[in-house]
Structure 1
Amino acid sequence: MEIESQVNNHDHEELNRQKTVEKLFLKRMILLLNCFLLSIGNTGGPLLLRLYFIRGGKRVWLSCWLESGGWPVMLIPLLGSYIYRVRKSKEKAKLFFLTPFLFLAGAVLGVLTGVDDWLYAYGVSKLPVSTFSLITSTHLAFTAGFAFLIVKQKFTSYTINTIVLLTVAAVVLGVHSSSDRPNGISNMEYFTGFFMTLGASALYGFVLPMVELTYKKSKTKISYTLVIEMQMVMSLFATAFCTIGMLANKDFQAIPREAKTYELGEAKYYTVLVFNAIVWQFFFLGAVGVIFSASSLLSGIMIAVLLPITETLAVLFYHEKFSSEKGIALALSLWAFVSYFYGEYKHTKEFKQTIDPQTNITKESSQP
């Protein structure tokens, strides 16, 4: 009987360890999915927005509305999740998981995102590529600072190395940025765009840790479905904010006129608008998904890593100059990316080795 009991305990421990490893694997898969969505949105969004402006688009409020106006796309994964829950439970499933606290927090963060969208769109319309990317890269420093203050983010040697490399990449990218200065932009417009973009970087660096804090302060279990619902609410209120600006600026009446004079043609004008709205939702969903799966700091790192890649794509699609500074910045960003994920790999490996199979917690934390 004693031998049989030991065998059963061993099987139980092995089962618990296997379940813990499976949860870690699922979380990593969700993280990779959101990194992929963030990559599409963070590279495709600015390129499409830039395409709108360089081919004749001039409406800043319209362009910032596009950054959040595709929120109905979120209904597709939410519907899929609901159908899955109904089939799995064979009972009436809960339609939404948002609590009043999360809805209110999503509304406030959504308005802040709307303000950030406007600042960002104004910067895109006025600044050269290199300068804009340099300033946008500073959001990583803002994210790291706010993450430390708001959610008590811990920094490892790999994280610090990543931040340093990306900061150096941003500085390198800004060298000789004046040579890319757009024609027809006055000094006042140039410097206004500069400070608007800096404000956008600081504001979004604040929003990311606030999303993470909201998850932590919520008294409900945070699932990936709930993350999508939260992002939909944020995008909805950001769209409402931008809609007010469009109404005040009479952008809705100007859309048909602008479409007729667009360099690529009227049909492609509306195509650019639609794809702008969809791709930007990939960015926002990926950003909050990375926060859910990892941290707001990693979300900021991913955005910073992808900026030189966006510059490389701009060279391919818009025939912009690929300077040596851009090449060095790209190499440093990829180095930073590998450095961060190598640190995460080592941390995960060490964590698996310290799991107590009986309690599913680390052995260190179970010690008095």
Structure 2
Amino acid sequence: MDGGRRVRHHTGGLPKDAATSSQPAPPPTVLRHWQWWLVVALNIFFLLAGQTTALLLGRFYYDKGGNSKWMATLVQTAGFPIFFLPLLLFPSGHTPPTTQPTPRPPLAKVSSIYVALGILIAVDNLMYSYGLLYLSVSTYSLICASQLAFNAVFSYFLNSQKFTPMIFNSVVLLTFSAALLGIRGDSGDSTDVSKGKYVLGFMLTLGASASYSLILSLMQLTFEKVIKKETFSVVLEMQIYTSLVASCAAIIGLFASGEWRTLRGEMEGYGTGRISYVLTLVWTGVSWQVGSAGVVGLIFVVSSLFSNVISTLALPIVPIFAAIIFNDKMDGVKIMSMLIAIWGFISYLYQHYIDDSKAKKAVRDAHEGCGQSVP
């Protein structure tokens, strides 16, 4: 299935059956190829801007007096209603005449998948909330880079992703990057965090990275095996319904834990005032949704592994902003961890460049063999 996605990518969005039919498909236009890259670029921007802003606002919430882990979990998905507008503006398009209509999957099956993914997302967000509470933003973001290594493994088993030497090298480097921070095993980032809480934050963030990677692979598997319908509305529906379930789970946790009783006191005692408290939560929610839209969009147009690689691109961005805004310490261990992780990112990116070049050559050779010119 991954090979089919790459053919669609490099043929500028042609239907998959057209790429494998006995009659050669018409060559892609430059405009279609340009449109595909524009969509990818927009999703990358949404992912990086949303993720970076959300992480910084999440740390700001804790630093100024916020302490509710369930509220921090809820805002990661509660902003999903903003996607109802684009869902109405970009409904599912009509099936092209050259493409066989895709039967709709059973509603019960799709609903059960959304519920399962939503609950998994809620648990994942809760672990991230604890990690961000006990770790500095820079340490937290460096540990999160390990999600690429986890996703490479999950993509190999669930999405038929090839495990090339370059990808293996990327996995090893990112594992070493996270291990450096784990072996460090102290709370040098903050005098207010004990060694035990640092270790707990490290383990929960590492576990959250693994579960997040599993979520991405399961989303790609759902697109390919269950929904089998590639429209922008599918991406939005996936985001809306899984976020709805995750938000409901977070609300249940908020009331079951009793943390809802402390929210008024949090708002009254917030370091920058009540209005700032509300705005921090609102914009954190919006930022998470913007970043999530970029994540799901990249899964839709490329793959879950590529989406996760782009997520790690925020690695050198977040610690820099954290050092400026929160005065996070950037010691030698963090710098080495960052450099190793960036090397791992470049390693995978180079592998994607090689795959991209091979796919282009295969499409060009196929069209030239049929006597067609390729732009």
TM bracket (short chain) = 0.7 to 0.9
Percentage of pairs with the same residue:
32
Distance 1:271 1:76 in 2: 22
- One-letter amino acid of the structure 2 residue matched with residue 243 of structure 1: I
1:296 to 272, 287, 304: 304
1:17 to 13, 27, 33: 27
Q: Does 1:28 align with 2:37?
A: yes
Q: Offset at 1:166?
A: 3.4
Q: Which moved more, 1:288-297 or 1:127-136?
A: 127-136
2:78 to 53, 69, 83: 69
- One-letter amino acid of the structure 2 residue matched with residue 77 of structure 1: P
Distance 2:27 2:256 in 1: 59
Q: Offset at 1:67?
A: 0.5
Query: Corresponding residue for 2:212?
Result: 204
Indicate the SS of the match to 1:56.
Answer: coil
Distance 2:213 2:150 in 1: 5
Distance 1:192-1:174 versus aligned 2 partners, 3 A rule: closer
Give matches, 1:349-364, under 5 Å. Answer: 349-355=357-363, 356-357=366-367
Deviations 1:200-221, CA, capped at 9 Å, x for gaps: 1221121111111111112532
Give matches, 1:40-119, under 5 Å. Answer: 40-82=49-91, 100=107, 101-119=109-127
- One-letter amino acid of the structure 1 residue matched with residue 313 of structure 2: V
Query: Corresponding residue for 1:154?
Result: 162
- One-letter amino acid of the structure 1 residue matched with residue 265 of structure 2: R
Q: Offset at 1:151?
A: 1.6
Q: Offset at 1:310?
A: 0.9
Please, what TM-score do these two structures have when normalized by structure 1? 0.81
- One-letter amino acid of the structure 1 residue matched with residue 199 of structure 2: F
Distance 1:99-1:236 versus aligned 2 partners, 3 A rule: farther
Q: Which moved more, 1:304-313 or 1:165-174?
A: 165-174
**Residues 114 and 242 of structure 1 are in contact (CA less than 8 Å); yes or no, is this contact kept in structure 2?**
yes
**Residues 134 and 174 of structure 1 are in contact (CA less than 8 Å); yes or no, is this contact kept in structure 2?**
no
Q: Offset at 1:139?
A: 2.0
Q: Offset at 1:153?
A: 1.1
Q: Offset at 1:296?
A: 1.3
Q: Offset at 1:85?
A: 6.2
Distance 1:249-1:318 versus aligned 2 partners, 3 A rule: same
Any stretches of 5+ residues in structure 1 without a counterpart? Answer: 1-12, 87-96, 361-368
Distance 2:132 2:299 in 1: 26
Indicate the SS of the match to 1:18.
Answer: coil
Deviations 1:103-157, CA, capped at 9 Å, x for gaps: 3312210110001111110111123445434432322222111111112211334
**Residues 182 and 202 of structure 2 are in contact (CA less than 8 Å); yes or no, is this contact kept in structure 1?**
no
Q: Offset at 1:288?
A: 1.4
**Residues 16 and 358 of structure 1 are in contact (CA less than 8 Å); yes or no, is this contact kept in structure 2?**
no
- One-letter amino acid of the structure 2 residue matched with residue 33 of structure 1: L
**Residues 133 and 170 of structure 1 are in contact (CA less than 8 Å); yes or no, is this contact kept in structure 2?**
no
Query: Corresponding residue for 1:225?
Result: 233
**Residues 138 and 167 of structure 1 are in contact (CA less than 8 Å); yes or no, is this contact kept in structure 2?**
yes
Distance 1:251 1:146 in 2: 35
Q: Offset at 1:176?
A: 4.8
Deviations 1:21-42, CA, capped at 9 Å, x for gaps: 6544433322222111111122
Deviations 1:184-227, CA, capped at 9 Å, x for gaps: 33454343333322221221121111111111112532222211
Q: Which has the larger radius of gyration?
A: 1
Distance 1:342-1:241 versus aligned 2 partners, 3 A rule: same
2:192 to 184, 194, 206: 184
Distance 1:55 1:251 in 2: 17
Deviations 1:272-295, CA, capped at 9 Å, x for gaps: 000110001122211111111211
CA RMSD of aligned residues (A): 3.0
Query: Corresponding residue for 2:247?
Result: 239
Q: Does 1:321 align with 2:311?
A: no
Q: Alignment length, in residue pairs? A: 337
Distance 2:355 2:130 in 1: 41
Query: Corresponding residue for 2:294?
Result: 286
Distance 2:115 2:162 in 1: 28
- One-letter amino acid of the structure 2 residue matched with residue 240 of structure 1: C
